[in-house]
């Protein structure tokens, strides 16, 4: 099997992104599988013309919109049909928000995930931490059963100080709370590899910039979008690329080449 390119991108509203050159961007990215988060739309809300253009690039599409209109939602677009698809994690508490699609490929399971945001006043931090815990338990069981796993998406957490421009000022803000960061440690302790950081231990690159105060131009950003890959599969990683030159959202795409 030749190299496979998987790209993850929080598009911050697919309808908005389509109006900002999304089709040109994904054509240039040329991924075999495209995992989108914060789609905020069901297929019926996207114009037929756009859907036809998407079909030409990606004939196989899975959508998992949230129950609440215009909120959250993930979609996985693929050139080849996956062997199996599962929408959600199998828990009503997490699945109403349209945060997960699992696709089976011949030698791994691909989790496309939009992790919860802890909220400005931290009101959703407990839910976010419970989501991490539930997912990790699920993954531990799958790894024990011999599965290989790729988790990608918007983790809504920067792991270490190198992963955001202003770590000191953000220690009490969601996305860089010690208890959120500890969950990424736990995934790594259970046999996952943060492939970008393994390949580039000292490189400073971000994947998200607030729309406020010209943050992107000044590169005041956070690395929130990751590929975590189970240990044996990590040996097959050729590269991981943060495409911080691609616009159209407050996040940029990130790719994994296996």
- Catalytic-role residue among 32, 154, 225, 250: 154
- Paired tokens of 103: 């696709």
Would you say 191 and 235 are in contact if contact means Cβ atoms under 8 Å apart?
A: no
Residue 249, CA distances (Å) to 132, 179, 181, 185 in order? 25, 27, 24, 28
Distance, in Å, from the CA atom of 9 to the CA atom of 110, rounded to the nearest integer, reads 14
**Would you give the DSSP letter of residue 116?**
P
Give which of 61, 59, 65 is closest to 42, Cα–Cα: 65
Does residue 154 have an active-site annotation?
yes
For residue 39, how many other CB atoms are within 10 A of its CB? 27
Burial per residue of 62-73, b for 16 or more beta-carbon CB atoms within 10 angstroms, e otherwise:
bbbbbeeeeebb
Give which of 53, 133, 60, 73 is closest to 103, Cα–Cα: 60
Q: Which residues are catalytic?
A: 154
């Amino acid at each position: 099997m030749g190299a496979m390119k998987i790209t993850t991108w929080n598009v911050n509203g697919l309808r908005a992104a389509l109006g900002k050159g999304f089709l040109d961007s994904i054509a240039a990215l040329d991924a075999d599988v495209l995992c989108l988060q914060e789609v905020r739309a069901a297929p019926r809300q996207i114009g037929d013309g756009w859907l036809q253009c998407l079909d030409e690039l990606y004939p196989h599409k899975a959508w998992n919109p949230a129950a609440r209109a215009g909120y959250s939602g993930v979609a996985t677009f693929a050139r080849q049909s996956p062997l199996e698809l599962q929408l959600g994690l199998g828990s009503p508490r997490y699945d109403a928000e349209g945060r997960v699609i699992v696709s089976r490929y011949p030698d791994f399971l691909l989790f496309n995930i939009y992790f919860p945001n802890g909220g400005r006043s931290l009101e959703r931090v407990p839910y976010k931490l419970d989501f991490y815990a539930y997912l990790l338990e699920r993954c531990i069981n799958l790894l024990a059963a011999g599965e290989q796993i790729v988790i990608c998406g918007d983790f809504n957490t920067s792991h270490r100080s190198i992963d955001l421009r202003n770590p000191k000022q953000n220690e009490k803000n969601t996305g860089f709370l010690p208890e959120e960061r500890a969950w990424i440690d736990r995934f790594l302790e259970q046999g996952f590899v943060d492939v970008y950081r393994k390949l580039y231990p000292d490189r400073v690159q971000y994947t998200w910039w607030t729309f406020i105060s010209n943050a992107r131009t000044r590169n005041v950003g956070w690395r929130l979008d990751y590929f975590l890959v189970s240990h044996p599969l990590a040996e097959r990683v050729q590269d991981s690329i943060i495409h911080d030159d691609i616009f159209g959202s407050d996040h940029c795409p990130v790719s994994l080449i296996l």
